[in-house]
Amino acid sequence: MLKHLLGRSTRCLLLVAAASEIAALIFILLQVKDVYLPSRTKYGMVLDAGSSHTTLYIYRWPADKENGTGIVSQAAACTVQGPGISSYADDPSGAGTSLQPCLDQAMTIIPATQQRETPTYLGATAGMRLLREQNSTKADLVFAEVSKTIQQYPVDFRGAQILTGNEEGSFGWITVNYLLETLVKFSFTGSWTHPEAAAVVGALDLGGASTQITFHPGRAIEDKSTEVLFWLYGTNYSLYTHSYLCYGEEQALKRLVASLREENLTSVQISHPCYPQGYEENVTTAVLYASPCVPAPATHSPNQTFAVQGTGSPEECSKAVQRLFNFTACGANRTCGFNGVYQPPEQGQFIAFSGFYHVFHFLNLTGGQPLSAARATIKDFCAKEWKEVQAMWPAMNKTRLQDFCGASTYILTLLLQGYKFDNRTWSSIQFRRQVAAVDVGWSLGYMLNLTNTIPMEAPNRVKGQRRDLWTAAVLTTCLALVMLLWTGLALCYQRRFATYETML
């Protein structure tokens, strides 16, 4: 019996030793820095100061996956009331004041403990580019006022700047492809995959003062002024991008009115084929020619008012819009877009956003309709009378409603004759406002670039994440073994004492 008890004691001691060794292993593993621990969310803000309005975007992402893909989400978006900051050239303080309601809202969304470490940027586009060309002093004063306002809030403000046209196009392209996971994707097998460079999609952006086209042409780019190079997730990207200043929707429509007036400068009344029949408005030359995009004729009167009457003629509207472009400057043998600007043939799928989406969404043309349907819808809308248009969209802002014929005709002309899409490639365009519940535009790509949330290479991050997963798996297994060993140890001693009591 004593020999039997000693055998059981030996087995119990062996169990104790095994449990102790595994516990020690757990303590060692707990010293590993790669152990995955839940982390808090980080935030970033971008104020998109466009030519027609400003929007504040709040983004968030898990701090432990700062360099991950597909993990940035849009926490909120706030549209600033009033026009774009470039419109405050004669009232710079008003530009700063206009931002306060949205900044106040942002402070209720971002936790107070994290506000001071929230990177905040203001990026201005074509509206401020035009103001800088027109009067750099006024542009500087506007920037000073908006910066002063933002600095009154407890955020990490990193400055305001004017984006170049190429930057605006490139950051829009990054946003689209980042959200679509066409740059890099984390698979269910726990590894990162790099799609072929040809899998990326192009970006078509239409703002108030400029339009951008950016895509991967899959060939050498002849004009290096239109080329941007990116090294993202271990892959080189050579992109074609070009921004056409003064070809944004708002400036194009102003140029359209000016071109119609130039046909008869002495008249106090002009006919507008893109306005619905029955629509009338008065326009002053001071307002019409206030933009550098709309140069005033030498013989015009600076304070003249003239009447504009809509005639609702789709065919004449199309002809008038085409006169805004120079389609002959490219020549017969040059790969070209318009105005003599080099453009290689489009390749792959495209996402059309901003003004492209908003105008076509109004006409219910964002569902992948064929080109023939888009043409027919626009022609039908342009032929409607003003009373009918008002009756069909009673809630629509009346200062905007009359422009949809001209805007949609302009978009169709820009895409087909300007950017050279056709019946075959039209289906490659998707009109989108959001991807993965995030608004599409340049602002996310801008923030990702400036905060380095997009890594230059993915492999180092992949190894780190795999280590984290391995460590977590080992810890889980060890803890399970300890529980089993201690359970066995308890049973062992329970039986031993039971036997001892029987002997007594």
**Are residues 101 and 157 located together in one domain of the fold?**
yes
343 found inside a domain: no
What's the Cα-to-Cα distance from 435 to each of 87, 179, 245, 353, 430, rounded to whole Å?
30, 6, 26, 10, 11
DSSP letter at 115?
G
pTM of model > 0.85: no
Identify whether residues 134 and 72 lie together within a single domain. yes
Q: What is the dihedral of CA 161, 167, 168, 174, to 10 degrees?
A: -120
Residues 51 and 150 in one domain: yes
Q: Are residues 47 and 142 in the same domain?
A: yes
- Which H or E run includes 147? helix 136-150
Are both 138 and 112 inside the same structural domain?
yes
Tell me, yes or no, whether 87 and 25 share the same domain: no
- How many Å apart are CA 116 and CA 157, to the nearest integer? 9
Q: Is residue 111 assigned to a domain? A: yes
Q: Is residue 404 part of a domain?
A: no
- Which tens digit of pLDDT belongs to each residue from 394-424? 988 777 899 999 999 999 999 999 999 999 9
* Euclidean distance between CA atoms 96 and 144, whole angstroms: 9
**Amino acid making up residue 186:** F
Q: What is the pLDDT of residues 71-101, one digit of tens each?
A: 688 999 999 999 999 999 999 999 999 999 9
Rounded Cα distance between 362 and 317, Å, is 19
**DSSP, residue by residue, 412-426:** HHIIIIIS---TTTG
Domain end call among 123, 139, 162: 162
How far apart CA 482 and CA 19 sit, in angstroms, is: 6
Same domain, 147 and 68: yes
- Cα 446 to Cα 269: distance, rounded to the nearest angstrom: 45
Q: Is residue 101 part of a domain?
A: yes
The answer to whether 162 and 121 have CB atoms below 8 angstroms apart is no
In a domain, 106, yes or no: yes
Record the tokens describing residue 134, joined without a space.
């027109």
Tokens of 217: 């042409």
254 falls within a domain: no
Instruction: Say how far apart CA 163 and CA 126 lie, in whole Å.
Output: 8
Let me know if 196 is a catalytic residue: no
State the total domains in the chain. 2
pLDDT at 465: 39
Domain boundary (96, 129, 162) is at 162
- 117, 133, 145, 168: which is the annotated catalytic residue? 168
From 162, 194, 217, the end of a domain falls on 162
Q: 155 and 70 share a domain? A: yes
Q: What is the pLDDT at residue 307?
A: 96
Q: Are residues 74 and 109 in the same domain?
A: yes
Residue 40 CA to residue 153 CA, distance in Å, equals: 22
Is 122 domain-assigned?
A: yes
- In the block, which residue shows the tokens 């199309």? 318
Length of the chain (residues): 504
- Does some domain include residue 102? yes
User: Which residues in the chain come in under a pLDDT of 50?
Assistant: 1-6, 27-38, 66-70, 456-471, 474, 496-504
Q: Count CB atoms within 10 A of the CB of residue 475.
A: 17
Pair 146, 60 in one domain: yes
Read off the CATH number of the domain in which 81 is found: 3.30.420.40
Domain span at residue 81 reads: 42-162
